Amino acid sequence: MSVLRIYCPLPAVPTTCEWVLFDDRDGSQPGKGTLAQLPQGAAHVQLVLAAGQVLITRARLPAAGRRRSAALLAYAAEEKLASDPDANQVSRLGQVDGDDVLAAVDRLRLQGWHDALNAVGIRVDGVYCETLMLPIRHGEWSLAWNGRDGYVRTGEFEGGATDCGDRQTPPLALQLLLEDARTRDALPTSIALHPADAAAQPDLGAWQLSLGVDVRLAPPYDWRTAPTLVGPRIDDGGRRRWYPPPAALARWRAIGRVLLVALALHSVALLVDRVRLGSEQRQLRAQLEARFRALFPAAVAVADPVLQTRRQLAQARHAANQPDAGDFPVMLGKVAGALSGVQGVKLHALSYEDGRMTLELAGPDPLARQIETRLGQAGFDVEAPPAARHSGRGTFTLTPRSP
């Protein structure tokens, strides 16, 4: 998974920056230039702030306050901030010894970098502080040192920038942090010192004598060499906002286009099929009307050729003293024959009108389907409400099936 890490000097105008791109094969490519020259298409984008531009402090918050907005958290850290709380974005990083650890940054300057990066198509997934990117061991502090000043990480969520020092004298801020830790009985067993280069390496013996803590030399370390899985975020109160990587978005866009094309083709096919079926229906009706007029030329109008043909046929049979399938005696005989083999069925009511017979039957639940099947086999079109099919009791409307 590719990761683009951008070093963001907040006080500077967001026009140029340093960056490093980690590719899928754990390789890294550093660079520097204008924002428009930043690599595009990285799966994740990390914004790194300098240690001196992030204030990490402790505050005691009520349980409900930990879930509130950054604007309210800024007022909780107001005593430690030298500016208007509304001008700072404050996030809760975690909890240490019952205290809540907060990180504060300049809101307007950070937003200016977000806007500038968005303008060139770069969306930041997380904001980090270089202080909390230092590796740390249990019971040990980590110090990054460039020969003049640096920054120290004192815990999972704590650390900060130091003031100046030299080869023989450690920074005063580091000594004060150790004094405070000594009063809380939280003194580290040692300090891992990460020099920027060989020239920045101090006199470890002099430092140890001044600090009263072992100082060991560690490999050079800075934000460019930190692993892609870095320390806690300092934006959104530590909450992880998940965004799909650009590569996944590109794949889903391609899938969406395919689905859209398939849906369009399906809709066109349905429309064509509907038009075709409508045309066939009109042709069949025209054929039925033509056949009806050929058989019965005296008919004045043709509204339903099937029904009118059935009625004309019934009249012709009656004129010849022959029964018709829609006559009451014929239908009653067929119904009696169809229901004769069904046990437990009771006929509550029967009505007949103009070739339609309505039966109100009652019986055990499993018989509804059997009754409907038998009536269909007897030559009827059966209309039964769903309640009749499920309960075995209901109304069945019968009409003779067309030959």
pLDDT tens per residue, range 232-265? 888 864 444 455 566 677 788 889 999 999 999 9
Same domain, 24 and 78: yes
Same domain, 122 and 167: no
d(CA 67, CA 28): 37
Task: Please give the pLDDT value at position 240.
Answer: 46
Same domain, 162 and 115: no
CATH number at residue 198: 3.30.420
What's the pLDDT band for 115 if we cut at 50, 70, 90?
very high
Same domain, 236 and 109: yes
Which runs of E-coded beta strand occur in 196-232? 214-217
Same domain, 89 and 233: yes
Same domain, 53 and 147: no
What's the pLDDT band for 61 if we cut at 50, 70, 90?
confident
Quote the DSSP letter at residue 296: -
Contact 197, 165 (CB under 8 A): no
- Smallest Cα–Cα separation from 126: which of 42, 220, 208? 42
Has residue 386 got a pLDDT over 60? yes
Same domain, 332 and 259: no
Burial of 275 (0-12, 13-18, 19+ CB in 10 A): exposed
Same domain, 9 and 72: yes
d(CA 371, CA 346): 12
Q: Give the max Cα distance, the chain.
A: 132
Q: What is the mean pLDDT of the chain?
A: 84
CATH number at residue 396: 3.30.1360.100
Q: Which of 185, 210, 241 is the last residue of a domain?
A: 241
Question: Between these two residues, 22 and 87, which has the higher pLDDT value?
Answer: 22
Same domain, 5 and 90: yes
Q: Position 265: which residue type?
A: L
Same domain, 214 and 231: no
pLDDT one-digit tens code per residue, 30-41: 999 999 999 998
CATH number at residue 17: 3.30.420.380
Same domain, 63 and 119: yes
- Smallest Cα–Cα separation from 134: which of 197, 28, 222? 222
d(CA 288, CA 293): 9
Q: Which of 316, 348, 371 is the last residue of a domain?
A: 316
Mean pLDDT of 141-164: 93
Has residue 388 got a pLDDT over 60? no
**Which range of residues forms the domain containing residue 151?**
135-220
Q: Which helix or strand (DSSP H or E) is residue 193 part of? A: strand 190-195
- Smallest Cα–Cα separation from 174: which of 51, 16, 353, 312? 51
Q: Which of 261, 293, 316 is the last residue of a domain?
A: 316
Contact 22, 12 (CB under 8 A): no
Contact 367, 392 (CB under 8 A): yes
Please give the tally of structural domains in the chain: 4
Mean pLDDT of 4-19: 91
pLDDT over 70 for what percent of the chain? 87
Number of residues that this document lists for the chain: 403
Q: Taking the mean position of all CA atoms in its chain, how far away is CA 392?
A: 48
Q: Which helix or strand (DSSP H or E) is residue 205 part of? A: helix 204-211
What's the pLDDT band for 226 if we cut at 50, 70, 90?
confident
Contact 367, 345 (CB under 8 A): yes
Has residue 401 got a pLDDT over 70? yes
Task: Please give the pLDDT value at position 17.
Answer: 93
**pTM exceeds cut of 0.75:** no
Same domain, 211 and 122: no
Contact 102, 57 (CB under 8 A): yes
Q: How many CB atoms within 10 Å of residue 124?
A: 19
Contact 232, 114 (CB under 8 A): no
Question: Between these two residues, 53 and 302, which has the higher pLDDT value?
Answer: 53
pLDDT one-digit tens code per residue, 285-340: 888 888 888 888 777 787 777 777 777 777 777 788 888 888 888 888 888 888 88
Residue 67 structure tokens: 């879930």
